[in-house]
């Protein structure tokens, strides 16, 4: 809950209005599952951190963090650009979308746990495909209806509830995890496309030098704040200092979520044809996009290298 707050210090560093600063905080807050998860799974398969379930802890926490940040980002974005709506109305609509997403995810998870029947020889592949296409449909469909929060929340909760249902149906497969085998094949082909599209969104030449300096300052304050918050969150979790340092490093990389949501404010400002978008809003939206680009360029490679190099050194190996 407090992790976006250090990034919101843009209010003090560059004089950004509070709502815009909070919006920036929710853009910079989530980590990139595409960078962190594959490395954590690799370490887990080799036995590193398995004694305390560190990979599972970080992956689960990152999923919660990402969905919370995306939902909160959508609510704050609506508050900034709501035409005549009060703050209370916007918040209520956001809460309704949140629970609507949970309901949609629960419904699709129930369908995916019943169809096809367990006796089907390709039940794992078919159910995995159903869950994947259902999540994509939720995201695209609700975005077209201007209720993107429902799609984001629904796709995450569908996977969560489906996992619970599938584990209950096939407790003997918990260690083998056949769904992970299906997803590893899908990931092998989608990973290059994902990072290619993220790279296509990055144009470092479009960022003015002065904005780079202030952007790095915002990122530095945010990273220091997040390190402190992460230490506090792990207090009493039973991790030693080396394991805590690893978890802190795992929360550094930014990439996919930032590339997906950072340009939304700028798109809205440019698309407002009914009124002349103010120059202030245009500059603020550019600040959001450019700072997010900097966060990707700086933290993604550093975080990925740190996790890969230090993971085997900081975590205990279970034989």
Contact 313, 48 (CB under 8 A): no
pLDDT of residue 164: 86
Q: pLDDT at position 111, please? A: 92
Q: Where are the domains of the chain?
A: 4-314
- By the 10 Å C-beta count (0-12 exposed, 13-18 middle, 19+ buried), 86 is classed as exposed
Q: Regarding predicted confidence, which is higher, 220 or 274?
A: 220
Listed in order, strand segments (DSSP E) in the chain are none
Cis peptide upstream of residue 116 (ω within 30 degrees of 0)? yes
- Kindly report the number of other CB atoms within 10 A of residue 101's CB atom: 26
Helix/strand/coil percentages in the chain, nearest 5: 75, 0, 20
273 φ, ψ (degrees, to nearest 5): -90, -15
Q: Mind listing the pLDDT tens digit for each residue in 183-236?
A: 778 877 887 887 777 677 667 777 778 888 888 888 888 888 878 888 888 877
Encode pLDDT of 105-144 as tens digits: 999 999 988 888 888 888 888 998 999 899 889 988 987 8
Radius of gyration for the alpha carbons in the chain, expressed in angstroms and rounded: 20
Residue owning tokens 């746990």? 113
Residue count of the chain, please give it.
319
317 bridge partner residues: 48
Q: Does position 155 have pLDDT exceeding 80, yes or no? A: yes
Confidence of residue 156 (pLDDT cuts 50, 70, 90): confident
Which neighbouring-strand residues pair with 290?
none
Q: In angstroms, rounded to a whole number, what is the distance separating the alpha carbons of residues 103 and 191?
A: 29
Specify the CATH number for 4-314; select among 1.20.1530.20, 1.20.1070.10, 3.40.50.150, 1.10.260.30: 1.20.1530.20
Residue 263: strand, helix, or coil: coil
Torsion over CA of 309, 216, 201 and 180, rounded to 10 degrees?
30
Token pair for 292:
């997010």
Distance CA 35, CA 119 (A): 36
* Number of neighbours of residue 133 by Cβ within 10 angstroms: 11
How far apart, in whole angstroms, are the C-alpha atoms of residue 105 and residue 102?
A: 5
């Amino acid at each position: 809950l407090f992790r976006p707050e250090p990034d919101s210090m843009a209010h003090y560093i560059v004089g950004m209005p509070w709502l815009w600063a909070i919006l920036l905080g929710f853009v910079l807050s989530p980590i990139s599952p595409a960078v962190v998860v594959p490395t954590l799974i690799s370490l887990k398969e080799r036995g590193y951190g398995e004694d305390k379930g560190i990979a599972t802890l970080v992956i689960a926490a990152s999923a919660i963090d990402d969905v919370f940040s995306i939902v909160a980002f959508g609510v704050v974005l609506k508050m900034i650009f709501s035409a005549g709506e009060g703050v209370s109305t916007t918040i209520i609509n956001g809460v309704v979308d949140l629970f609507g997403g949970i309901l949609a995810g629960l419904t699709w998870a129930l369908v995916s746990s019943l169809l096809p029947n367990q006796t089907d020889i390709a039940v794992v592949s078919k159910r995995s495909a159903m869950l994947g296409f259902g999540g994509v449909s939720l995201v695209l469909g609700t975005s077209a209806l201007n209720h993107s929060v429902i799609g984001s929340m629904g796709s995450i909760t569908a996977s969560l509830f489906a996992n619970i249902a599938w584990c209950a149906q096939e407790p003997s497969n918990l260690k083998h995890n056949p769904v992970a085998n299906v997803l590893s094949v899908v990931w092998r082909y989608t990973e290059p496309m994902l990072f290619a599209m993220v790279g296509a969104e990055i144009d470092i030449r479009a960022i003015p030098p002065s904005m780079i300096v202030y952007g790095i300052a915002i990122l530095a304050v945010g990273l220091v704040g997040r390190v402190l918050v992460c230490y506090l969150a792990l207090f009493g979790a039973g991790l030693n200092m080396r394991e805590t340092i690893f978890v802190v490093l795992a929360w550094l990389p930014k990439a996919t979520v930032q590339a997906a949501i950072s340009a939304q404010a700028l798109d809205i400002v440019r698309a407002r044809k009914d009124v002349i978008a103010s120059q202030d809003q245009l500059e603020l939206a550019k600040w959001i996009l450019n700072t997010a680009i900097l966060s990707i360029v700086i933290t993604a490679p550093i975080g990925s290298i740190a996790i890969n190099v230090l993971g085997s050194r900081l975590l205990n190996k279970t034989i």
